[in-house]
C-alpha cells in the first residue's frame, strides 16, 4: 500500500537516508523502474557505480516521498525548473503550496518538504579536504573568513562545512543557487554552531529560519525555510528507510 503524508503550514519535514545503510537488494533492483526515462539516461551517464547508486537513491527518495504527499503513483510526479534551474513540481501536478528541495553528497541524501514556504537544504561530507581558508576568503563574507582564520586547525573542516551548508541551503531556498553572491549575507558562528543570520545587502531578506543537523559522523547539513515575522516553524527529521521499507 502507498503511504500518505501531509505537512502543515508551520512544518518542514526533512527526509533522509544513508546509502551504506541501505542493503535491501530487492529494493535496489526494483528502484530504476520508478525513474523517468530521462532520469535513467542521466543515471547511466555517470561513470562510477557509487555515483549511479546515489543518484538512483536520491530520485527514488524524492519520488516516493513527494508521491506520498500528492497521493499519486511515483511515476506520475512530474518536475519542471525555475529560471535558475531549481527543480519544482510541474504545473500539471495539482499541488498548491507544496515546496521541496533535494540534496545529496557522498553517500547521503536529504529532501526537505514544506507547505506554503520556500525551503532549501544542503548536506556535505564534512571531513573532506578542500582549501578551506582560500575558498572562504574568495566566496564568504569577510566576518566568516575571519572567524575561520581564528579557529584551531582541528576545528576548521567542521566549521567551514557548517557555514557552507547554511549558505547553500539559503541560496537554494530563495531559488537562486550559486548564481547568488555568497558574501551578501553572513552567518555569525561559535565554532561550527550557528548564532545569527545577518543580511549584508538590502536585497537579502532577513525573514529566514535555519537549523543545522547531522546525518552521521561524516555528514552535516542545514535547512533554510522562509520565516516571515510573527510566524512559527517546526522542522522534523524523518528516516526514509524506516518509513518506506518497513
Q: What mean pLDDT, rounded, does the chain reach?
A: 93
User: Which pLDDT score, from 0 to 100, does residue 241 have?
Assistant: 92
User: How far is CA 161 from its chain centroid?
Assistant: 14
5 or 228: whose pLDDT is higher?
5
Mean pLDDT lowest for which of 89-93, 96-100, 115-119? 89-93
14 DSSP β-pair partners = 112, 237
Cβ neighbours for 135, distance < 8 A, ≥ 6 positions apart: 160
Terminal CA-to-CA distance of the chain, rounded, Å? 12
Residue 94's pLDDT band, with cuts at 50, 70 and 90, is: low
User: Which pLDDT score, from 0 to 100, does residue 150 have?
Assistant: 97
Residue 1's pLDDT band, with cuts at 50, 70 and 90, is: low
For residue 245, pLDDT beyond 70: yes
For residue 97, pLDDT beyond 90: no
- Residue 132 burial by Cβ neighbours in a 10 Å radius (0-12, 13-18, 19+): buried
For residue 138, pLDDT beyond 80: yes
For residue 161, pLDDT beyond 70: yes
Report the alpha-carbon distance of residue 5 to residue 120 in Å, rounded.
20
User: Which pLDDT score, from 0 to 100, does residue 111 have?
Assistant: 98
Task: Supply the pTM of this predicted model.
Answer: 0.95
Sign of CA dihedral 193, 198, 200, 201: positive
For residue 178, pLDDT beyond 90: no
- Residue 177 burial by Cβ neighbours in a 10 Å radius (0-12, 13-18, 19+): middle
Cβ neighbours for 138, distance < 8 A, ≥ 6 positions apart: none
Report the alpha-carbon distance of residue 209 to residue 223 in Å, rounded.
8
User: Which pLDDT score, from 0 to 100, does residue 229 have?
Assistant: 78
Amino acid at each position: 500500500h502507498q503511504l500518505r503524508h501531509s505537512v502543515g503550514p508551520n512544518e518542514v519535514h526533512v527526509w533522509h537516508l544513508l546509502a551504506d545503510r541501505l542493503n535491501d537488494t530487492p529494493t535496489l533492483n526494483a528502484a530504476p523502474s520508478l525513474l523517468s526515462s530521462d532520469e535513467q539516461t542521466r543515471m547511466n551517464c555517470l561513470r562510477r557505480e557509487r555515483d549511479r547508486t546515489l543518484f538512483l537513491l536520491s530520485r527514488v527518495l524524492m519520488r516516493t516521498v513527494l508521491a506520498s504527499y500528492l497521493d499519486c503513483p511515483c511515476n506520475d510526479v512530474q518536475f519542471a525548473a525555475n529560471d535558475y534551474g531549481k527543480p519544482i513540481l510541474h504545473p500539471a501536478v495539482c499541488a498548491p503550496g507544496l515546496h521541496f528541495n533535494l540534496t545529496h553528497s557522498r553517500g547521503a541524501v536529504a529532501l526537505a518538504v514544506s507547505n506554503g514556504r520556500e525551503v532549501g537544504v544542503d548536506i556535505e561530507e564534512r571531513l573532506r579536504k578542500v582549501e578551506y581558508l582560500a575558498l572562504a576568503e574568495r566566496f564568504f563574507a569577510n566576518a566568516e573568513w575571519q572567524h575561520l582564520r581564528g579557529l584551531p586547525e582541528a576545528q576548521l573542516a567542521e566549521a567551514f562545512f557548517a557555514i557552507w551548508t547554511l549558505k547553500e541551503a539559503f541560496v537554494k531556498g530563495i531559488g537562486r543557487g550559486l548564481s547568488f553572491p555568497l558574501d551578501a549575507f553572513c552567518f555569525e558562528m561559535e565554532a561550527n554552531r550557528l548564532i545569527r543570520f545577518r543580511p549584508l545587502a538590502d536585497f537579502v531578506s532577513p525573514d529566514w529560519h535555519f537549523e543545522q543537523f547531522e546525518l552521521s559522523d561524516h555528514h552535516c547539513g542545514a535547512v533554510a525555510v522562509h520565516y516571515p515575522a510573527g510566524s512559527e516553524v517546526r522542522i522534523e527529521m524523518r528516516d526514509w528507510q524506516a518509513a518506506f521499507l518497513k
